[in-house]
């Protein structure tokens, strides 16, 4: 029940619930990955059941695809969709220009492809995800398994000439084994602490042989919806240059919470 949720989960739910209102029948929608995005998928599933909302969802990971199907959302591939009206996803960090770090869940490759194949990207977040400068959250870099140690060395060398505070590079693990993405790749986490020039860093890292994609989303996000634990919601539209406020009610009877 909503009353039993932690304040952070209430904030995530508030952002997800408000962002789901941007979705209209007939849309093809990119469905993000992560804890906040999971709330959004549940909110859309509730609308599908209760309002007859008709959408086609393009998930950004196998776990999102499984949840979407469980919620009664029709799932299609990006190739089938061709182009999307909207993508809604979470973020690990965002700054004042709505640049993001994503990939804490290891799905940033598919997330970036889906987001850039959309007319708009809406990010849903709690207030703790807003930062003055990106970089406190480790930056994920997806690399192919072949020669990954050489790729890591090249990444470490590239960081020497960049405006960052930290330069530690670690291989992401899943227990005692390396973490493996949906594409069968590995992830290097860059512990940079502060990124002075995200655009430069993104361009340089992606030029290194063996790197598939990094978790910096530059000039991709259009709107951020920030939820608070008391139901308040702030909507920032960087394209329109507007900031709006709203409120989401927590209804104890919502089907959304029946299996939490």
103 marked as binding residue? yes
117 marked as binding residue? no
Place of tokens 């909302």: 53
89 marked as binding residue? yes
182 marked as binding residue? no
Burial (CB < 10 A; 0-12, 13-18, 19+), residue 236, is: buried
CA nearest 158: which of 206, 199, 196? 206
104 marked as binding residue? yes
Active site residue 234: no
129 marked as binding residue? yes
125 marked as binding residue? no
91 marked as binding residue? yes
184 marked as binding residue? no
Q: Which two tokens stand for residue 136?
A: 């406190």
Q: Which of 93, 111, 142, 213 is catalytic?
A: 111
- Residues at the binding site are 33-36, 89-92, 102-105, 129
Question: What are the residue numbers of the active site?
Answer: 111
- Residues at the binding site for substrate are 33-36, 89-92, 102-105, 129
């Amino acid at each position: 029940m909503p009353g039993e949720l932690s304040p952070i989960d209430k904030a995530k739910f508030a952002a997800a619930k408000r962002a789901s209102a941007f979705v209209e029948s007939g849309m093809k929608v990119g469905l993000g990955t992560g804890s906040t995005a999971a709330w959004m998928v549940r909110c859309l599933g509730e609308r599908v059941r209760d309002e007859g909302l008709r959408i086609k969802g393009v998930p950004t990971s196998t776990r999102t695809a499984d949840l979407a199907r469980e919620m009664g959302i029709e799932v299609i591939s990006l190739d089938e969709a061709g182009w999307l009206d909207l993508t809604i996803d979470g973020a690990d960090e965002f700054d004042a220009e709505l640049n993001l770090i994503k990939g804490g869940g290891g799905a940033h490759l598919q997330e970036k492809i889906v987001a850039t194949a959309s007319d708009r990207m809406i990010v849903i977040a709690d207030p703790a995800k807003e930062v003055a400068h990106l970089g406190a959250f480790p930056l994920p870099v997806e690399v192919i398994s072949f020669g990954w140690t050489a790729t890591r060395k090249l990444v470490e060398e590239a960081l020497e000439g960049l405006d960052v505070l930290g330069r530690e590079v670690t291989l992401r693990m899943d227990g005692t084994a390396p973490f493996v993405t949906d594409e069968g790749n590995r992830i290097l986490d860059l512990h940079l602490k502060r990124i002075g020039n995200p655009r430069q860093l993104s361009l340089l890292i992606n030029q290194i042989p063996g790197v598939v994609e990094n978790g910096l989303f530059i000039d991709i996000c259009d709107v951020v919806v920030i939820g608070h634990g008391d139901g308040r919601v702030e909507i920032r539209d960087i394209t329109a240059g507007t900031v709006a406020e709203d409120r989401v009610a927590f209804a104890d009877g919502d089907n959304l919470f029946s299996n939490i």
